[in-house]
């Protein structure tokens, strides 16, 4: 088993390196770069270099000098290595383009990870917990009580969760909570708790503001898991070993939980590889709509500013989470399904 884990870890490292290269190259393919955007802002007097233009410095000379300072005049392969090596050895995801300026163009690694990553993990973690707590029991109930009123109700809710866009559901919930309960749920905190020290009141305020984003982002995941688990369980409950167990007097609860559930939940565990990045990507539009300080708005701002180092870094984080999720799902499958342990 240790050899299996070691092989998976080494393969994951190579895969993450390949993801970093592909994400960086794709981000560099559109015409223009960060300096083009910065020069445009400078022309409008919105950056710290506006004084140089006012003193008569040629704009092309300024652009070339800035490209040299940030290493954007190097070949793409060297730019990628500078960026990726800075991640590996210095923990800097910005690749040298990493100090916050008055123009809001450059984002430091401290800002990226101390200000945006913890809220992102908080929302994604709470969403994952809620998704599994709701989806697994409902999926089991829908399979065991097939064609019941509850099955139809949960199926309707599930299809609605898949059909309604997350941001639209977020807007609806924000309106309903404000109109009928006078609760403002934009952001993470109310105005009077924004810079306040931690207290019970601030924690309660945070939990109130988490309700809408967590519910909104989890709807599609809950609906998908319910349908997958229900269909897999229905297929297993008609197999001979289940019929034999019931004929021998084994209780229905034990019959379902002992073997059919362990087999039916396998595809859901396998899908965990896509759950982590989907949770992060699902927060992008929702975070913009709800005003959440997560990595979603940062990615949007990076793309708008053509700051491809930040955009590629966030894409690398999402790709790495896919690899990590795959590793975790493989290990969990070894625990849940003895057949995998036998083959490995």
The per-residue pLDDT for range 257-311, each reduced to its tens digit, is 877 887 888 777 777 666 666 666 666 777 777 777 777 777 777 777 666 667 7
Those residues whose C-beta lies under 8 Å from the C-beta of residue 287, and which sit 6 or more positions away, are 123, 213, 293, 294, 296, 297
Please identify which residue in the block is written with the tokens 């896919």.
322
CA dihedral for 169, 175, 176, 178, sign (positive or negative): positive
Mean pLDDT, residues 184-205 taken together: 77
Domain limits for position 158: 118-306
pLDDT at residue number 115: 73
The per-residue pLDDT for range 63-91, each reduced to its tens digit, is 777 777 777 777 878 878 877 887 777 66
pLDDT at residue number 102: 34
225 pLDDT tier (thresholds 50, 70, 90):
confident
Q: How many domains are there within the chain?
A: 1
Give the burial class of 63: count Cβ atoms within 10 A of its Cβ; 0-12 exposed, 13-18 middle, 19 or more buried: middle
**Does 175 map to a domain?**
yes
**Does 318 map to a domain?**
no
Query: How many CB atoms are closer than 10 A to CB 62?
Result: 17
In this structure, what token pair is assigned to residue 262? 């362990």
**Does 342 map to a domain?**
no
In this structure, what token pair is assigned to residue 115? 């200000």
**Does 60 map to a domain?**
no
CA 190 to chain centre: 25
**Does 46 map to a domain?**
no
**Does 227 map to a domain?**
yes
**Does 222 map to a domain?**
yes
**Does 102 map to a domain?**
no
Question: CB–CB of 302/311 below 8 Å?
Answer: yes
The CATH number of the domain where 162 resides is what?
Answer: 1.10.3720.10
């Amino acid at each position: 088993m240790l050899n299996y884990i070691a092989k998976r870890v080494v393969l994951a490292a190579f895969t993450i390196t390949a993801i970093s290269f592909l994400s960086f190259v794709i981000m560099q393919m559109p015409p223009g770069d960060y300096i083009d955007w910065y020069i445009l802002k400078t022309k409008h007097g919105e950056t710290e270099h506006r004084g140089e233009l006012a003193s008569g410095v040629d704009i092309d000379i300024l652009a070339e000098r800035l490209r040299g300072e940030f290493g954007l005049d190097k070949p793409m392969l060297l730019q990628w290595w500078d960026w990726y090596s800075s991640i590996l050895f210095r923990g800097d995801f910005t690749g040298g383009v990493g100090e916050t300026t008055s123009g809001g163009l450059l984002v430091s690694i401290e800002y990226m990870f101390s200000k945006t990553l913890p809220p992102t993990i908080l929302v994604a973690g709470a969403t994952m917990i809620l998704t599994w707590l709701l989806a697994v029991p409902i999926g089991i109930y829908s399979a065991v009580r097939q064609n019941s009123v509850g099955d139809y109700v949960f199926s309707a809710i599930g299809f609605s969760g898949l059909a309604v866009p997350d941001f639209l559901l977020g807007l609806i919930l924000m309106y309903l909570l404000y109109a009928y309960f006078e609760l403002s749920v934009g952001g993470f905190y109310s105005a009077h708790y924004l810079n306040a020290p931690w207290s019970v009141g601030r924690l309660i305020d945070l939990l109130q503001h988490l309700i809408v984003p967590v519910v909104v982002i989890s709807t599609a995941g809950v609906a998908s898991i319910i349908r997958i688990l229900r269909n897999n369980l229905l297929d297993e409950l008609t197999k001979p070993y289940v019929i034999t167990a019931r004929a021998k007097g084994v209780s229905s609860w034990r019959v379902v939980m002992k073997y059919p559930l362990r087999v039916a939940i396998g595809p859901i565990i396998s899908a965990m590889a896509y759950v982590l990045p989907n949770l992060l990507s699902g927060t992008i539009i929702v975070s913009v709509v709800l005003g959440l300080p997560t990595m979603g708005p940062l990615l949007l701002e990076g793309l708008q500013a053509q700051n491809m180092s930040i955009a590629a870094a966030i894409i690398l984080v999402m790709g790495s989470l896919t690899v990590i999720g795959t590793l975790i799902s493989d290990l969990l499958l070894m625990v849940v399904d003895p057949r995998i342990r036998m083959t490995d």
